[in-house]
Structure 1
Amino acid sequence: MPKNKGKGGKNRKRGKNEADDEKRELVFKEDGQDYAQVTRMLGNGRLEAKCSDGVLRLCHICGKLHKKVWIAAGDIVLVGLRDYQDGKADVIHKYMPDEARLLKAYGELSDSFRPNEGGGNDDDDDGNRVDSYFGFEEVDIDKV
């Protein structure tokens, strides 16, 4: 039998990134970059995000972040726009919730971004908030 030379499996590798508690410098967007909110995860290192310019883009998580930084629906990310494909972008950086609140306080994020909420858009065409449940009428069971 081969001798084990490693120090553990994938769970040990997952636990290595414990430097999240320390403060890090806030990253602002530059030319060719934009802020986006994740609407849904697609799998295979891809996600769908609504950018601050209102365009829904298919985004690819870069290798630096893939399997190291966990991204969920509703997170605020910095994406690098592609010159040759307007409908696609690359995720460069994920903002923590407190960093997203700071960006909103600085006026970098528009009011359409809600940093603490999930990715689903519960607004109707007029921009009014709609409850995401079905309403049913009460019917007398004897008549059915």
Structure 2
Amino acid sequence: MGKNKGKGGKNRKKGRNEADDDKRELQFKEDGQEYAQVLRMLGNGRCEAICIDGVKRLCHIRGKMHKKVWIAAGDIILVGLRDYQDDKADIINKYMPDEARLLKAYGELPETTKLNEGILVDEEDANGADGYLEFKDDDIDRV
């Protein structure tokens, strides 16, 4: 058997992280772009997202981000709209949670956007019903 002279196989590349992730400039939308929130991942580099303008679109993860930037349901993303297909878009940028909070503070995202759950708030949920049960101390004693 020969001696291993290389620096590692294909799995060596997985552990490397880019250094520019820690502090980057906040990217605002331009014309032909829209903010969106991921509803669900579909696989094959695609996801379903609802844009801020209220349209549900099938989004495609661009090749530069594919397998480098992980996108999950609930993430705030920037999509590039297509001129020829209104129901499809391309993901340009994924915002980190602190960047999404900044966008909401600047008024770029509507106040009804839930940043951590991942689903836009409906008018029925806005009246204070958050879906949690409230227990009193005597209820716990009975259990």
Check whether the contact 1:122–1:131 (CA below 8 A) recurs between aligned residues: no
The alignment partner of 2:73 has SS state of coil
What is the distance in 2 between the residues matched to 1:36 and 1:28?
Answer: 12
Report the counterpart of residue 53 of structure 1 in structure 2: 53
- The unaligned stretches of length 5 or more in structure 2 are 133-143
Shift of 1:5: 6.8
Report the counterpart of residue 84 of structure 2 in structure 1: 84
Relative to structure 1, is the Cα distance of residues 76 and 3 closer, same or farther in structure 2, using a 3 angstrom cutoff? farther
Check whether the contact 2:113–2:121 (CA below 8 A) recurs between aligned residues: no
Question: How many residues align structurally?
Answer: 128
Matched, 1:128 2:124: yes
Please list the CA deviations of residues 10-36 of structure 1 after superposition, one character each: whole Å capped at 9, or x if unmatched.
443222125266211000000000000
Query: Larger helix proportion, structure 1 or 2?
Result: 2
Check whether the contact 2:37–2:50 (CA below 8 A) recurs between aligned residues: yes
Q: Which amino acid aligns with 2:49?
A: A
Percent identity of paired positions between Structure 1 and Structure 2: 75
- The unaligned stretches of length 5 or more in structure 1 are 133-144
Matched, 1:31 2:31: yes
Structural RMSD (CA) = 2.4
Comparing 4-13 and 36-45, the one that deviates more: 4-13
Q: Which amino acid aligns with 2:24?
A: R
**Structure 1 length normalisation: TM-score?**
0.78
Give the 5 Å matches for 1:1-144: 7-19=7-19, 22-119=22-119, 123=122, 127-129=123-125, 131=131
Please list the CA deviations of residues 63-96 of structure 1 after superposition, one character each: whole Å capped at 9, or x if unmatched.
0100000000000000000010000000000000
Check whether the contact 1:14–1:68 (CA below 8 A) recurs between aligned residues: no
Shift of 1:113: 1.9
**Structure 2 length normalisation: TM-score?**
0.78
Shift of 1:109: 0.5
